Structure 1
Amino acid sequence: MVFQGSSTAISHTGKVRSNNQDSGYSGSNLFVVADGMGGHAGGDVASSLAITRLERLDQPYETTSEAELALRDAISDAAVELIDTVHVRPELAGMGTTVSALIMVDDYAVIAHIGDSRIYLFRDGTLTQITTDHTFVQRLVDSGRITPEEARYHPRRSVLMRVLGDMDPDPELDTFIMPTQPGDRWLLCSDGLSGVVDDPHTSKALGLGLAPGRTADNLLKQALDAGAPDNVTIVIVDVGGQHPVFSGTPTIVGSASNPVGVEVPAAAPRRSSWLHPNRQAANEPTHYEPAAGFLEELIEEDRRRSRRRRIGWITGLVLVLVIITGVLWIGYQWTQTRYFVGTDEDTVVIYRGVQQSIGPISLSTPYEDTEIPLTSLSEFARSTVEQTISASSLTDARRIVSSISDTAEGGG
């Protein structure tokens, strides 16, 4: 049965990249986002090849199992085609692409996924991420080493652990089948959107009830306003709903919309990398498929980074404590150059320090008991001394005491 609903697909280069390596497809039953990687030409070719191979699946299916098998076979065929392409064009070695695909079959969504592009379901006002990122940081999140919020800003957040590439003819895919219902809104997107627009803002945009095209434009604007450091590709699929059902020519966006397709002019050979022979460096490398055992190396690097961060915090804390202690010590030493005249229980006393305290710590100590009885002072003099009299120096304090002593003698 032909899917009943409406959809849209848009793709944008973003504000930093020089070309668009993403591809997107929105058809009658099939919807796909592919995020290419592997340099200026390689990423274009990889995502375009994936879309070209998958678009043949845009047809009604009798069963969900038939659609799931078709997705698996088509993506495996795309992997073989990538490998064959590299044999002919060795300068493209190391290219790859994510694939997040969805086929509507009756009241079900058949999903295939590899990489870090995402599929979300917006239902009854709640946004749910359906696919799991095949990234290094997602494994750190799954193992409890970091939080999802820390993953958004982790320096290795774009390292892919699984990808449709030119090294594995049998890629490890996630495929599953989910029931869907009228009113559901499905979002497929590259990490150019999910990496800069958080889930609450995405949910708000999807919940406004605008047509798929206007909703996609809204999300793209948010990504561009946030700087759009990567290509942004968005496919929105509404199941039933209030908006008109669109049919006819499928919408193909991004690299796959290039009329010449994968026939990109040959690039000059580049220096090989340690991860892949003849792998060319991307303009701004943010994705790559690690070699076997690379995960443990990255985890160990993350542990080292965490240890360095803890050492940095501890060093900084110790430094702050040393500075605070030094300031307090210098301040205390200054107080010990000051004097004032006060009393103890029954005599006039010269104190060293100032008349303040820090909590239970007094900043003054008795320096010299003058042995002048308080009872020998006039009421005014006694009151003045009890309130303390500041002195500029020890000599000044003794002068004040002498004056008080004269008063006492005069009163006697």
Structure 2
Amino acid sequence: MVFEGSSAAISHTGKVRSNNQDSGYAGANLFAVADGMGGHAGGDVASSIAIQRLERLDQAFSSTDDAQASLQAAATTAAGDLIRAAKERPELAGLGTTVSAIIMVEDHAVIGHIGDSRIYLYRDDELTQITADHTFVQRLVDSGRITPEEARYHPRRSVLMRVLSDMDHDPELDMFVMPTLPGDRWILCSDGLSGVVDDPHVLKAMRLGLPPGRTADNLLKQALDGGAPDNVTIVIVDVGGVHPVASGTATIVGSASNPSGVFIPAARPARTSWLHPVRQAANEPSHFEPAADYLEELIEEDRRRAKRRRAGWIAALLVVILALTGAGILAYNWTQTRYFIGADEDSVVIFQGVQQNIGPISLSTEIEDTDILLAQLPPYQRASVERTINARSLADAMAIVDRLRAGADAVLSETPDVTPTPTPAPTPAPTDSTAPTDGEDAG
């Protein structure tokens, strides 16, 4: 599918926070998202200042090198603006913002990034995260200490390692250039979207093939349905070929869209009533940039958490093993309360246990050979013994054996005596006393 060159930008406060500290920009050649930090007022100011400096780059650049140099210079200037703002208004101390920006230069995208807002590329029906989060948990993921899924719920996922702030005159942006192709769709978003809607659901929304505006609405709805604990800002731009250089009306959203400047309310005491827990949470900063010693504490805390997690897994494994062992012992003991009558080669035997085996382990033992031969049993009893006969107890088994013995005796009593009768010796023929003898005259 090939998109016509078009873009959209949308920003929402979310369901928890009371103000929008995000800013977004979608112009002719520049597209950017900034997620402010620094409390109720500081975040608004920081993201607005960043976008105001970046919007001057919405022009046609002669080369990608010029665009990269201008993008880095704009970020450095914005950092200087943040430093001056914090000096002029001490209540803004600690303000900062993430920045993720794309400048389209013909058929290339010049990308600048700092913080944990993200840039994705949807190309050839696949979604790829182009930028890497500058967060403490991402460092843990990169070192293999936790998984990406664990990073989504890590208690320190809001700790930023690099950010555009009032503490660094020369911010280090990730800068690189990527070629664009017809049909590319670029998505820029604050972590209010990426922290709630995972990549598979973003990909599913991309595959619907809706225009940028409707796609952004779809993603925002998913974030709101997921609770939207933070501000949500989304910028989407489609590439239909070589990017146009024509100027046009830009779309600015979030705190930077206030034409009269950012409203900075006076400080007010925090509410402690249990009736307003959501409002209290809304004014908490979503990000902060830690000092070096704090990072060392986090690393040590993570080591302790990893040890506790391993200990927990080992303890859980031991509990499972003990439970299975106990269940096995109880099951085996129960089998030894059962009895059955079966055959052992040619005789009837009483067994204790059950007929089943667990692999090489037999669950029955022979306790008495009755000396009743299978050949002596009636056919139906012999078949029953060969199939085994269950008994409720040893006494019941003995009673069954008595019946089998009676059956065997009955068979023996009904068998006819086949002992052979001796054959009498033949009787000799009688002798005639009147018969003539040799030498006598027969006459």
TM-score class normalised by the smaller sequence: 0.7 to 0.9
Match of 1:337 in 2: 337
Match of 1:307 in 2: 307
**Residues 368-405 of structure 1 deviation map (CA, whole Å, 9 limit, x = unaligned):** 23334444444444444333333332223223333333
Letter in 2 for 1:252: I
Q: Taking structure 1 as reference, are residues 356 and 5 closer, same or farther at Cα in structure 2, changes over 3 Å only?
A: closer
- Quick check: 1:88 aligned with 2:88? yes
Which has the larger displacement, 228-237 or 60-69?
Answer: 60-69
Match of 1:52 in 2: 52
Q: Taking structure 1 as reference, are residues 381 and 262 closer, same or farther at Cα in structure 2, changes over 3 Å only?
A: closer
User: How many residues end up aligned between the 2 structures?
Assistant: 400
Which has the larger displacement, 387-396 or 227-236?
Answer: 387-396
Distance 1:281 1:290 in 2: 20
**Residues 243-283 of structure 1 deviation map (CA, whole Å, 9 limit, x = unaligned):** 9999543221101112442340232489xxxxxxxxx9973
Q: Taking structure 1 as reference, are residues 388 and 180 closer, same or farther at Cα in structure 2, changes over 3 Å only?
A: closer
Q: Taking structure 1 as reference, are residues 396 and 168 closer, same or farther at Cα in structure 2, changes over 3 Å only?
A: same
Match of 1:28 in 2: 28
**Equivalent residues of 2:230, 2:286 under 8 A apart:** no
In the alignment, structure 2 segments of 5+ residues that lack a partner are: 271-279, 414-443
Letter in 1 for 2:139: R
Letter in 2 for 1:187: I
- Quick check: 1:38 aligned with 2:7? no
Q: How does 1:229-244 map to 2 (within 5 A)?
A: 229-240=229-240
Q: Taking structure 1 as reference, are residues 356 and 246 closer, same or farther at Cα in structure 2, changes over 3 Å only?
A: same
**Equivalent residues of 2:17, 2:281 under 8 A apart:** no
Distance 2:246 2:214 in 1: 14
Match of 1:320 in 2: 320
**Equivalent residues of 1:38, 1:281 under 8 A apart:** no
TM-score (norm 2): 0.79
**Residues 204-263 of structure 1 deviation map (CA, whole Å, 9 limit, x = unaligned):** 544555433233223323333333232111122233469999954322110111244234
| SS of 1:298 mapped into structure 2 | helix
**Equivalent residues of 1:339, 1:393 under 8 A apart:** yes
Letter in 2 for 1:239: V
Distance 1:332 1:281 in 2: 56
Q: Taking structure 1 as reference, are residues 339 and 173 closer, same or farther at Cα in structure 2, changes over 3 Å only?
A: same
Which has the larger displacement, 49-58 or 378-387?
Answer: 378-387
**Equivalent residues of 2:59, 2:245 under 8 A apart:** no
Distance 2:341 2:122 in 1: 77
Match of 1:276 in 2: none
Distance 1:121 1:349 in 2: 76
| SS of 1:223 mapped into structure 2 | helix
Letter in 2 for 1:66: D
Match of 1:114 in 2: 114
Letter in 2 for 1:396: D
**Equivalent residues of 1:352, 1:365 under 8 A apart:** yes
1:22 is displaced (CA, Å) by 0.4
Q: How does 1:111-190 map to 2 (within 5 A)?
A: 111-190=111-190
**Equivalent residues of 1:350, 1:367 under 8 A apart:** yes
Q: How does 1:341-356 map to 2 (within 5 A)?
A: 341-356=341-356
Letter in 2 for 1:9: A
Match of 1:274 in 2: none
**Equivalent residues of 1:211, 1:243 under 8 A apart:** no
Match of 2:102 in 1: 102
1:310 is displaced (CA, Å) by 2.9
| SS of 2:292 mapped into structure 1 | coil
Q: Taking structure 1 as reference, are residues 110 and 381 closer, same or farther at Cα in structure 2, changes over 3 Å only?
A: closer
- Quick check: 1:400 aligned with 2:400? yes
* Structure possessing the higher radius of gyration over alpha carbons: 2
Distance 2:186 2:392 in 1: 79
**Equivalent residues of 1:38, 1:282 under 8 A apart:** no
Match of 1:366 in 2: 366
Q: How does 1:197-276 map to 2 (within 5 A)?
A: 197-206=197-206, 208-240=208-240, 248-268=248-268
1:323 is displaced (CA, Å) by 1.6
Q: How does 1:381-400 map to 2 (within 5 A)?
A: 381-400=381-400
Percent identical among aligned pairs is 72
